[in-house]
Chain A
């Protein structure tokens, strides 16, 4: 296992009030790869993901210890510019959460809040580029003023990804991005992730083991708030070193 580290998680502990949700997690996330986090419900995989862009800040009573280093900066320090962090570390959620507004406004929202609205033509080119990246441009180019909630769930999720790409992030976090989608749409999104891997570091949380096996390069298995095992996806799925991992992967529990 040799790779360039993009995110370095060091001795991370997280508490929800009294509850110890993440226990001493250490993880090096490889650059320009897809890293999957798997594990049974409640094992802390989503919580871990939400540490990387500080989304856990929105929950009352969360306390974190340890370090998460991105670009030589510990992003858990109080002085971290969360706005800039979230721009650089985009997130795609479980349910496609497009705003109840036009497709265009959904895309422009990010540019507006970060004061990056350019001239009309430049913005249009940017938007076209991102919609092309997620395979929506040909379908939607003539109906950008349509309400985004009228799209199919798969298209909505693609739009969510486009909305993130528009801000030119380097890291993308995906929190069970296919759990609301049917199997065909799921495959389409996975294909998209494979293409995007060239340019972005991605971390995907999934409860679907086949998805982790198909779509990721590296896999981390979590259980009860601990990272049990981390390695190349093929090895985790064919020759896990821990018995717990093997039991989970073979379906003994989960």
Chain B
């Protein structure tokens, strides 16, 4: 009898933790939604989403999220363009080419890479990468989109590498045997059989990488220049959704329109990352089938 009771306690505790997670996600969403709606009562949602200017302390203020979304999108796309090919190639090397000892070293190095605090990367961006970008492209400032693109790509790499590598290692041995048996070379086997078989896992890795990049705050706050204007190119200072919230939240009056506008920005960000993670999950499931 006692055993049975103990088991039920544990079971209930575990079930509670599971449901708690779901509850937290829903509560955070409701919380963001509630405060965002406070803005949309005085400032139309349509203007918020379409207006091309973010001037929160002008009189009257303009809360246009377009430049911020554009800024986030620009650095995200830029980072993905760099880190996806590099990340997948690295994963392929670790999973299929590197000899055993190197594999171990590389994998633990990538874990170290993942554990570098983003503020340290931002630091490197300010004192080294920023000036480098400035001199290379002859800009007036190195604090611009491109500098953060490099750092963000670097930050997303560990995620992309380790999840892609899992997907590649998970490709059944028999596919490879079949390919070799038909006379395929190592490279043909990798390119035509292993990569396609792992593609859904790799897609998931890319999605999670994007999620990581778009949600990153510290690095972009330190090196993008934080100018909330429509960026015309990646070589200009810009500002992302995350940096806007982090930078302005401390200066607003609690309960003001500006305050609620930042929550609305948070809501948009939440929806974007939610969709990305959800898509990644769909791809991972498809891969497991």
Task: Say whether A31 faces chain B, with CB atoms less than 8 Å apart.
Answer: no
Task: Say whether A163 faces chain B, with CB atoms less than 8 Å apart.
Answer: yes
Task: Say whether B174 faces chain A, with CB atoms less than 8 Å apart.
Answer: yes
Cross-chain contact of B180 among A58, A114, A163, A167 (Cβ < 8 A):
A58
Report the minimum CB–CB distance from A145 to chain B (whole Å). Answer: 15
Instruction: Report Cα–Cα, A98/B197, bound state, in Å.
Output: 12
Task: Say whether A164 faces chain B, with CB atoms less than 8 Å apart.
Answer: yes
Task: Report the count of interface residues on B (CB-CB < 8 A).
Answer: 17
Q: Contact flags (1/0) for B161-198 with A, using CB distance below 8 Å?
A: 00000000000101101111111110010001100110
Task: Check if A93 sits within 8 Å of B183, measured CB to CB.
Answer: no
Instruction: Report Cα–Cα, A163/B172, bound state, in Å.
Output: 19
Instruction: Report Cα–Cα, A53/B182, bound state, in Å.
Output: 10
Task: Check if A109 sits within 8 Å of B177, measured CB to CB.
Answer: no
Enumerate chain B residues within 8 angstroms of A114, measured Cβ to Cβ. 183
With A99-B175, A99-B197 already in contact, the answer to whether A83 and B181 are too (CB < 8 A) is no
Report the minimum CB–CB distance from A180 to chain B (whole Å). Answer: 11
Interface centre among B179, B181, B184 (most CB of A within 10 A): B181
Chain A residues 81 to 95 lying within 8 A of chain B, measured CB to CB, are 82-87, 90-91, 93, 95
Task: Check if B181 sits within 8 Å of A53, measured CB to CB.
Answer: yes
Enumerate chain B residues within 8 angstroms of A164, measured Cβ to Cβ. 181-182
Report the minimum CB–CB distance from B179 to chain A (whole Å). Answer: 7
Task: Check if A113 sits within 8 Å of B185, measured CB to CB.
Answer: yes
Instruction: Report Cα–Cα, A100/B184, bound state, in Å.
Output: 17
Instruction: Report Cα–Cα, A101/B196, bound state, in Å.
Output: 9
With A93-B174, A113-B188 already in contact, the answer to whether A99 and B193 are too (CB < 8 A) is yes
Task: Say whether A110 faces chain B, with CB atoms less than 8 Å apart.
Answer: yes
Task: Check if B178 sits within 8 Å of A93, measured CB to CB.
Answer: yes
Q: Contact flags (1/0) for A3-19 with B, using CB distance below 8 Å?
A: 00000000000000000
What is the chain A residue whose CB lies nearest that of B187? A113
Residues of A at the B interface (CB closer than 8 Å) are 53, 55, 58, 82-87, 90-91, 93, 95, 97-101, 109-110, 112-114, 160, 163-164, 167
Residues of B at the A interface (CB closer than 8 Å) are 172, 174-175, 177-185, 188, 192-193, 196-197
4 A-B pairs with the lowest CB-CB distances in the bound complex, closest first: A86-B183, A97-B174, A97-B178, A91-B181
For this complex, 13 residue pairs linking A to B, each with C-beta atoms less than 8 Å apart, are A83-B183, A86-B180, A93-B174, A99-B175, A99-B193, A100-B196, A109-B193, A113-B182, A113-B184, A113-B192, A114-B183, A160-B178, A167-B183
